[in-house]
């Protein structure tokens, strides 16, 4: 429950107190007294706080979610589970957990961040300890870089001071100004404390399309070679990924020294999605929307999307991204 609701509740108590006041002063005192106590109790009980009641990692939950809800991403699924479970079960990590998720749009990067949040914070993405930054939304003007830098540093510091187990998600990392990324570097590093604040229990997740092309190329090689997609392993993607990410001077993150200094703990590749995955996404969306999942509708919807390469139509250009909004037109 949100603070808004709580204050509403308190108002109701106070108003009822005032109404009773017209009749009997003793009852009034009792009602107000009870109201205030109950209100305080409800507030501490329902208001999210930085403690194990609100922040408790559910390893089984994350495993189940990754297996049942994340579609077509066996490599990412394995790395995420290992990384997050390892980090969360370590009571004294030496640095914050830094994950860098790579892949084309619609392949599940945002969705995975959501699954992680849901299995750590009771309030999931709505938690006041989960922070999402988008360059377009939060840092749109290059001319304001210096302001953004100090603002972002203050936000991170302030929030981690409030709660050590804070999570920061940076969407569209490729569009983020390199200077801005540089400014958060100290927080990702192996420091015991910076200005008295320890960042070691925080989680940073970077989302980007950088390296997406090389992942697609590798998936296409496997497909052309008649090899099973599920045989693709991290080591098949890792070298290409780090090379293409590293050499791509355009993508902000990478010509900073994040990689150089090994500040990123895990690079997580997201594979392009095939027709059959899009069908699965559509079925899952129908279920989520409270409809009866219908295979024919799902296949029709998936069949109408754009696939590449043009000749073979193997991978969905937008992954599963537009499925939810398209569903209305097909049902
Ligand atoms: C953890 O997740 C599992 C699977 O989703 C669920 O059954 C279980 O109730 C969860 N545990 C807690 C403590 O929330
Ligand atoms: C925490 O981060 C949010 C942005 O997500 C910011 O608005 C807020 O001011 C920060 N809190 C503190 C205490 O710095």
Residue with CA nearest ligand 2 atom 10: 155
Residue with CA nearest ligand 1 atom 1: 61
Q: What is the pLDDT along the chain (331 residues), one digit of tens a residue?
A: 444 554 545 554 555 545 545 556 666 666 677 777 777 777 777 889 999 999 999 999 999 999 999 999 999 999 999 999 999 999 999 999 999 999 999 999 999 999 999 999 999 999 999 999 998 899 999 899 999 999 999 999 999 999 999 999 999 888 888 888 889 999 999 988 898 999 999 999 999 988 888 899 999 999 999 999 999 998 888 777 766 665 655 554 555 567 667 889 999 999 999 999 999 999 999 998 899 999 999 999 999 999 999 888 999 999 999 898 888 888 7
pLDDT, residue 256, reads 56
CA of 159 to the centre of ligand 2 (A): 6
pLDDT, residue 210, reads 83
Nearest-angstrom CA–CA distance, 208 and 62: 22
Nearest-angstrom CA–CA distance, 31 and 18: 9
* Residue in 132, 155, 164 to alter for ligand 2 test, most ligand atoms within 8 A of Cβ: 155
159 lines ligand 2 (CB under 6 A): yes
The reported pTM is 0.86
pLDDT, residue 239, reads 73
Residue 203 near residue 90 (C-beta atoms within 8 A):
no
Partners of residue 208 on adjacent β-strands: 102
138 lines ligand 2 (CB under 6 A): no
Closest ligand to Cα 130: 2
pLDDT, residue 82, reads 97
Residue 148 near residue 139 (C-beta atoms within 8 A):
yes
| Nearest atom in ligand 1 to 58's CA | 1
* Residue in 159, 184, 205 to alter for ligand 2 test, most ligand atoms within 8 A of Cβ: 159
Calculate ∠ Cα 261-208-133, nearest 5°.
90
Calculate ∠ Cα 76-79-82, nearest 5°.
145
CA of 65 to the centre of ligand 1 (A): 10
122 lines ligand 1 (CB under 6 A): no
pLDDT, residue 2, reads 47
Partners of residue 308 on adjacent β-strands: 315
158 lines ligand 2 (CB under 6 A): yes
150 lines ligand 2 (CB under 6 A): no
- The sheet with strand 203-208 has its strands ordered as 130-134, 167-171, 203-208, 97-102, 266-269
Closest ligand to Cα 67: 1
Residue 121 main-chain phi, psi, to 5 deg? -105, 135
């Amino acid at each position: 429950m949100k603070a808004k609701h709580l204050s509403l509740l308190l108002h109701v108590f106070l108003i009822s107190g005032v109404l009773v006041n017209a009749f009997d002063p003793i009852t009034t005192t009792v009602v107000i007294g009870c109201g205030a106590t109950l209100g305080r109790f409800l507030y501490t009980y329902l208001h999210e706080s930085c403690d194990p009641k609100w922040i408790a990692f559910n390893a089984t939950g994350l495993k189940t979610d990754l297996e049942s809800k994340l579609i077509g991403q066996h490599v990412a699924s394995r790395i995420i589970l290992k990384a997050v479970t390892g980090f969360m079960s370590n009571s004294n990590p030496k640095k914050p957990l830094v994950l860098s998720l790579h892949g084309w749009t619609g392949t599940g990067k945002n969705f995975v961040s959501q699954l992680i949040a849901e299995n750590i914070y009771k309030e999931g993405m709505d938690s006041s300890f989960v922070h999402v930054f988008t360059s377009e939304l939060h840092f749109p003007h290059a001319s304001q870089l210096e302001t953004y830098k100090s603002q972002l540093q203050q936000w991170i510091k302030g929030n981690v001071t409030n709660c050590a187990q804070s999570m920061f998600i940076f969407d569209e990392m490729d569009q983020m100004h390199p200077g801005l990324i540089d400014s958060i570097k100290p927080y990702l590093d192996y420091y015991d404390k910076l200005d008295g604040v320890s960042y070691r229990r925080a989680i940073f997740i970077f989302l980007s399309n950088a390296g997406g092309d090389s992942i697609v190329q590798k998936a296409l090689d496997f497909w052309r070679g008649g090899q099973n997609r599920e045989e693709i392993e991290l080591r098949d993607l890792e070298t290409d990924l780090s090379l293409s990410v590293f050499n791509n001077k355009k993508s902000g993150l990478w010509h900073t020294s994040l990689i150089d200094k090994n500040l990123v703990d895990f690079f997580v590749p997201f594979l392009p999605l095939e027709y059959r995955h899009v069908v699965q996404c559509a079925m899952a969306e129908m279920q989520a929307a409270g409809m009866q999942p219908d295979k024919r509708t799902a296949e029709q919807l998936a069949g109408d999307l754009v696939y590449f390469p043009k000749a073979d139509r193997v991978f969905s250009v937008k992954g599963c991204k537009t499925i939810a909004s398209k569903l209305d037109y097909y049902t």
